[in-house]
Amino acid sequence: MTSNANEANSIPSLKETEAEERYYMASSWALMRRRFSKHKLAVFGVVVLSIAYVLAIFAGFFSTADPAYRHKKHLFAPPTAIRIIHDGKLHRPFVYGLKSSRHPVTRANMFELDKEQIHPLKVFVTGYEYSVLGLFSSRIHLLGVEDPGVIFLFGTESLGRDMFSRVLHGARVSLSIGLVGVFLSFILGSLLGGLSGYFGGWVDMFLQRVIEFLQSIPTLPLWMGLAAAVPITWPQTRTYFMITIILSILGWTGLARVVRGKLLQLRNEDYVMAAQVYGASDIRIITRHLLPGFMSYLIVHLTLAIPYMILGETALSFLGIGLRPPAVTWGVMLQQAQNVRTVVMSPWLLLPGLCVVIVVLCFNFVGDGLRDAADPYK
């Protein structure tokens, strides 16, 4: 009886057998998605980045004030706290009014709460006009208070402009420049790396020497030199695309090395020779047969390259040689944080830097998750 029971336990159940069949019959993309979902930090990074991009795309709707409007009586105003208790009683969400005054010695702005003024927090309020994806205009905002109340969730800066609204609008540039820059790097890296690995010979030797030369140049001085050559009189749109191209000049070299190494391994495979026999062009063989074979690795590389682009734009704008005011980016906003005294008195000016840190960490989390999921059979 005991031996029969052991044999029965050793036989896999029908559910286990079906689960194994689904696992081995699943496509590589399905296995990658399953393994990626088990990486908690990567999933957390996807959620945070999704929220960040939604806030950036619909920055006008989520803003509580016009990012360009100067509140002259509220220079360096501290962040406004949203409260639900007044005089010991539960109250609908509200903010207190602010009283501003000057310090008798330093002449610095001083603020204190005016508890006699209660401004209820309202949803879907009417405010300044903004454009929604360039399709239509709207005045509806998610949160706000009615005049004469003000709400500064992240405080204000030296000119009295709302930091929360500026962080949201700055995210449009800082987050999009990473995607656009990586897209250009992907095209250059895939094309030049593919040519180098597929043809070999003098083509490979020439392209590898070019890559080695570019990688031998210190990154920041090269960025600074190229960015300094951008005329100040250029409009913001042209400057944006020029900075993106500058960031992409060095971003493609690492991807080109990865593509070259993979193509050196795959160019002698039977399916490549079969495509050559059937008369397929070299470009078609590279783009339709070779690159898709390791697309998962390319996606991982691109995901890890986006933070590199975001940090590059932030550094150039912080140093004053990237995008310049009146453009709103996280790097431009951090220019005011160069003064230690200002930061000590108004630490909320460092919030754009905190946003950069969070976004870069989340991209790295996602990249780590994709790297683990890229080989689902391990």
Specify the CATH number for the domain of residue 216.
1.10.3720.10
Q: Is residue 321 assigned to a domain?
A: yes
Q: Based on the domain organization, do 147 and 169 belong to the same domain? A: no
Given this model, what pLDDT does residue 59 score? 92
pTM metric for this prediction? 0.81
Closest CA to 241 of 181, 174, 186: 181
Boundary-marking domain end, from 151, 182, 207:
151
Reading the chain (378 residues) residue by residue, the pLDDT tens digits are 445 545 445 555 555 566 555 655 556 667 777 888 888 899 999 999 999 999 999 999 999 999 989 988 888 889 998 998 888 888 889 999 888 877 777 667 788 888 888 889 999 999 889 988 888 899 999 998 888 888 999 999 988 899 999 999 999 988 888 888 888 888 888 888 888 888 888 888 999 998 888 888 877 777 777 777 777 777 777 778 887 887 777 778 888 888 888 888 887 778 888 888 888 887 888 777 777 777 777 777 788 788 888 888 888 888 777 788 888 889 888 887 777 777 788 889 999 999 999 999 999 899 888 877 766 555
Q: Based on the domain organization, do 276 and 311 belong to the same domain? A: yes
Q: Is residue 318 assigned to a domain?
A: yes
Residue 156: DSSP 8-state: B
Provide the number of structural domains found in the chain: 2
Q: Based on the domain organization, do 117 and 187 belong to the same domain? A: no
Q: Based on the domain organization, do 336 and 369 belong to the same domain? A: yes
Angle at 287 between CA 25 and CA 27, to 5 degrees: 10
Parallel/antiparallel/unpaired status of strands 83-86 and 89-102: antiparallel
Q: Based on the domain organization, do 194 and 139 belong to the same domain? A: no
Residue 365: DSSP 8-state: H
Q: Based on the domain organization, do 322 and 297 belong to the same domain? A: yes
Q: Based on the domain organization, do 175 and 321 belong to the same domain? A: yes
Cα gap 200→194, rounded to integer Å: 10
Q: Domain range spanning residue 124?
A: 80-151
Q: Is residue 85 assigned to a domain?
A: yes
Q: Is residue 66 assigned to a domain?
A: no
Given this model, what pLDDT does residue 7 score? 47
Q: Is residue 319 assigned to a domain?
A: yes
Q: Based on the domain organization, do 113 and 176 belong to the same domain? A: no
Given this model, what pLDDT does residue 16 score? 56
Q: List, in sequence order, every residue forming a beta bridge with 130; answer none if it has no partner.
A: 138
Cα gap 171→39, rounded to integer Å: 26
Closest CA to 304 of 366, 357, 347: 366
Boundary-marking domain end, from 128, 151, 174:
151
Q: Based on the domain organization, do 264 and 362 belong to the same domain? A: yes
Given this model, what pLDDT does residue 24 score? 54
One-character DSSP codes across 74-122? -TTPPPPPPEEEETTEEEEEEEEEEEEEE-TTT--EEEEEEEEEEEE-E
Q: Is residue 196 assigned to a domain?
A: yes
Q: Based on the domain organization, do 236 and 197 belong to the same domain? A: yes
Q: Based on the domain organization, do 243 and 187 belong to the same domain? A: yes
